[in-house]
Amino acid sequence: MRDLADTAPIVQFRGIDKTYDGDVNILEKLDLDIQQGEFVTLLGPSGSGKSTLLMILAGFEEVTGGEVLLNGERLNNVPPHKRNMGVVFQSYALFPHMSVRQNVAYPLKQRGVPKAEIDARAEKALDMIHMKEFGERMPTQLSGGQQQRVALARAIVYQPEVILMDEPLGALDKKLREKMQIEIKHLHEQLGTTIVFVTHDQSEALTMSDRIAVFNDGKILQIGPPSEIYEAPNCSFVANFIGETNNFSGQVTAQSGDACTLRMANGAEISGQNILGARVGDAACMAVRPEHVKLDLEQVCSHALKAKVTGVIYHGDHIRYELDVPGARDVTARSNAHMQDALPEGQEVYIHWDMDKGRVLDPLSGAEGAA
User: Which residues sit at the interface with other proteins, rule CB under 8 A?
Assistant: 20, 58-62, 76-87, 89, 91, 93, 95-97, 106-107, 110-111, 154-155, 158, 164
Counting other chains too, the contacts that 265-270 makes at CB distance below 8 Å and 24 or more residues apart are 265/327, 266/326, 266/327, 267/327, 268/305, 268/306, 268/326, 268/327, 269/303, 270/303, 270/305, 270/358
Q: Which is nearer to other proteins, 148 or 261 (CB)?
A: 148
Q: What is the dihedral of CA 175, 180, 181, 184, to 10 degrees?
A: 170
Residues 6+ apart with CB under 8 A from 60: 80
Cα gap 123→134, rounded to integer Å:
11
Q: Which is nearer to other proteins, 29 or 111 (CB)?
A: 111
> Closest distance between other proteins and the C-beta of residue 222, in Å?
28
Q: Which is nearer to other proteins, 79 or 257 (CB)?
A: 79
Q: Which is nearer to other proteins, 58 or 235 (CB)?
A: 58
Residues 6+ apart with CB under 8 A from 109: 118
* Amino acid found at 17: D
Cα gap 320→322, rounded to integer Å:
7
Q: Which is nearer to other proteins, 50 or 289 (CB)?
A: 50
> Closest distance between other proteins and the C-beta of residue 24, in Å?
14
> Closest distance between other proteins and the C-beta of residue 15, in Å?
18
Q: Cα 98 from chain centroid?
A: 34
Partner residues linked to 19 by β-bridges: 25
> Closest distance between other proteins and the C-beta of residue 87, in Å?
4
> Closest distance between other proteins and the C-beta of residue 93, in Å?
4
> Closest distance between other proteins and the C-beta of residue 321, in Å?
41
Cα gap 280→258, rounded to integer Å:
13
Q: Which is nearer to other proteins, 57 or 221 (CB)?
A: 57
Q: Which is nearer to other proteins, 164 or 270 (CB)?
A: 164
> Closest distance between other proteins and the C-beta of residue 51, in Å?
12
Q: Which is nearer to other proteins, 91 or 266 (CB)?
A: 91
Nearest to 126 by CA among 101, 107, 109, 144: 101
Cα gap 292→333, rounded to integer Å:
8
> Closest distance between other proteins and the C-beta of residue 147, in Å?
13
> Closest distance between other proteins and the C-beta of residue 359, in Å?
39
Phi-psi region of 29 (alpha: psi -120 to 50; beta: other; left: phi over 0): left
Cα gap 360→66, rounded to integer Å:
34
Cα gap 133→140, rounded to integer Å:
16
Q: Which is nearer to other proteins, 218 or 290 (CB)?
A: 218
The HSE-up count of residue 71 (CA atoms within 13 Å, CB side) is 7
